[in-house]
Structure 1
Amino acid sequence: MRTTTLGTSGPEVGVVGLGAMGMTFAYDMATPRDEATSLSVIHQALDLGVTLIDTADVYGPYTNESLVGRGLADRRDRAVIATKVGLEAVDPTGGPGGSPIVRPNGRPEHVRAAIDASLRRLGTDHIDLYQLHRVDPEVPIEETWGAMAEAVAAGKARHLGLSEINLTVEQIQRAQAVHPVATVQAEFSLWTRDVQAEVLPHCREHGIGLLAYSPLGRGFLVGRFASFDDLPQNDQRRRLPRFQEENLHANLDIAAKVSQVAERIGATSAQVALAWLLTQGPHVVPIPGTKTPKYLADNAAAADVRLSPADIADLDAIPAPAGARY
């Protein structure tokens, strides 16, 4: 797979990454996880050149990093590990649909303890990209980011990044004033393009990489869901506005337009959606999540898909979805 760097200061990675969250967390929680398959996906990812593996301490909660650590135990030098800090589980099982209840925690003492715990779970002596999962509204970002910068100075982390729900350019600038921001992780896809207004241009201008999470619209862009009933039980998507029946029905046209381009060029819908993100600039790296070898190979092959100007124009013209993100 061809490679890029995460912004001007970050590490070299394959142009498509792997989000590990779904291997232990969030989607289709009623279906038992197969750890052996998940480990094989991590191994296959590295073999395909998918070197960026994204996880977080709170995924699971606190089991996803351990899984990734086991997957990389004998091949750590081939991977770029990205994990996160800044959320903590208040109730591991008590949220809606059985989802953990989490809250922001950006206190410096939490960051200092959390990175050591992440290093233990991941079985490594350093984290390549340490990301602030959410900005804590009760703690100035400078204090949280300063504690994360201490981890870099101590050799526990190599680069720092920000993750978001509604991250602002002003917050990025405040963090940048304390320590370089290598990456911003943002939801970005053909049905979530909010970052194109301010965050993406800022990243382009300042040499910051952008990790695009949920690049397949949480599975919607690949045509997996024709109705609300298609969503698995105990799945977080059942709580999201865009997946409610009326909105979902209106959004089917978006998936259909992606499928039309895919049929025209002989690719899959997933590959088209990922290839469109790759046209947004060399600093944009999609991190689709999967726990299935078949879908991993399909996603990785998006790196070789070339969209014509007409294809890109058709995709750019896709309307905004019905329903809010959350």
Structure 2
Amino acid sequence: MRTTTLGTHGPEVGVVGLGAMGMSFAYDMATPRDEATSVSVIHQALDLAPTTSAGVCPASSRTTCGPTSTSRPRSARSATASAPLRPRSPWAWLVAQGEHVVPIPGTKTPKYLVDNAGGADVRLSEADLADFDAIPAPVGARY
């Protein structure tokens, strides 16, 4: 995975991170958590980009993220990836916005982890970026 440096002297991280909040009860307390899958996703993320630490393990998912810390090197403990271009495009567009933009999409499943992390490998052309820029802005009360 391509990498970038956070800040002037910060750590080198993958250009796409992994958000772990969805692995906790932070978004949906009614849905049971799948601990084994969550730990598997974090391990897979570390395998895809072993030096990254672009994500944060929220307090509510420490039980999920904790086991990964003891079985991985220190540089990879902060757990924060050829599928179709479509699911990777939003992350590729965000990465193309500049070296100081590091998207951290959340996921709970290996399939979406690979799709999200794959955005780091996609380099959009000027025409692709123009197509994204032509998308109308969202409207409505939510926005």
How many aligned residue pairs are there?
A: 138
Deviation of residue 78 (structure 1)? 3.5
Give 1:318's aligned amino acid: I
Q: Flag the 1:73–1:324 CA change in 2: closer, same or farther, 3 A.
A: farther
TM-score, structure 2 as length reference: 0.85
Residue 68 (str. 1) matches residue 70 (str. 2): no
Give 2:31's aligned amino acid: T
Q: Quote the Cα distance in structure 2 between the aligned partners of 1:324 and 1:288.
A: 24
Give 2:15's aligned amino acid: V
- Could you tell me whether the CA contact under 8 Å between 1:4 and 1:13 is conserved in 2? yes
- In structure 2, what is the equivalent of residue 301 of structure 1? 118
- Could you tell me whether the CA contact under 8 Å between 1:24 and 1:33 is conserved in 2? yes
TM-score, structure 1 as length reference: 0.39
- For residue 85 of structure 2, the aligned residue among 231, 251, 267 is 267
Residue 20 (str. 1) matches residue 20 (str. 2): yes
Normalized per residue, which structure has more strand? 1
Q: Flag the 1:72–1:2 CA change in 2: closer, same or farther, 3 A.
A: same
Give 1:70's aligned amino acid: P
Deviation of residue 66 (structure 1)? 3.1
Residue 311 (str. 1) matches residue 125 (str. 2): no
Q: Which runs of 5+ in 1 are unaligned?
A: 84-265
What are the residue-to-residue correspondences of 1:237-276 with 2, within 5 Å?
266-268=84-86, 270-276=87-93
Q: SS of the counterpart of 2:78?
A: strand
- In structure 2, what is the equivalent of residue 33 of structure 1? 33
- In structure 2, what is the equivalent of residue 228 of structure 1? none
Q: Quote the Cα distance in structure 2 between the aligned partners of 1:44 and 1:29.
A: 25
Q: SS of the counterpart of 1:13?
A: strand
- Could you tell me whether the CA contact under 8 Å between 1:13 and 1:80 is conserved in 2? no
Q: Quote the Cα distance in structure 2 between the aligned partners of 1:27 and 1:291.
A: 12
Deviations 1:270-303, CA, capped at 9 Å, x for gaps? 3100000011111111101001001101111111
Q: SS of the counterpart of 1:36?
A: helix
Structure with the bigger RCO (C-alpha within 8 Å, sep 6+) is: 2
Residue 286 (str. 1) matches residue 142 (str. 2): no
Deviation of residue 82 (structure 1)? 7.8
Task: Name the % identity.
Answer: 67
Q: Quote the Cα distance in structure 1 between the aligned partners of 2:140 and 2:58.
A: 27
Deviations 1:12-69, CA, capped at 9 Å, x for gaps? 1111110000001333443311100000000000100162232233xx3xxx123212
Q: Quote the Cα distance in structure 2 between the aligned partners of 1:7 and 1:324.
A: 35
Residue 77 (str. 1) matches residue 79 (str. 2): no
